[in-house]
Structure 1
Amino acid sequence: MNLLHAYVSGRVQGVYFRGWTRGHAQRLGLHGWVRNLRDGRVEVLASGPDNALRELQELLYEGPALSRVDGVEIVAMADEEQPTHGFSIAPTV
């Protein structure tokens, strides 16, 4: 299992980005969460098989129909912080 930790910028809040991301993550069998950030970005943390994480990462560049993705920043994160159950929408921070 590997980890994807990403920050998505653009018009990504108020356009169903979190629900859309959760739906794709659940379909791909990933664990983790997605949340809005007060600075207007969306943060995604997902764990699972490499091929599923790659597909989710590619999808993040597209976003749902009403969104406009300006960038996706992938960041490294320690393995011990990997989520292991389900995929949820977390509270805004």
Structure 2
Amino acid sequence: SGATVGPCIGHVSPEAAEGGPIAALREGDKIQIDVPARKLDVELSEEKLRSRLAGWKPKEPKISKGYLRRYRSLVQSADRGGTFRNP
């Protein structure tokens, strides 16, 4: 879009909404970005990551009807291709 100068992260997968590692991040936590490898790492110990994710609960979706609700329930995360789920 031209709205940024330099690297910009537009999407992270698996998403925090599905309990991916990014769901464990808190204000002030550090991440490491490797642009050539197209990788973002959460800089938390495995123990801390497990501990935080153990207490994680999904948020209630804000959209409860219509096409966006159907999309949310039928399409899988981008790390699995962003395609329709198998029934």
Normalised TM-score (structure 2): 0.28
Q: Which structure is higher in strand share?
A: 1
Normalised TM-score (structure 1): 0.27
**Which has the bigger relative contact order, CA under 8 A and spacing at least 6?**
1
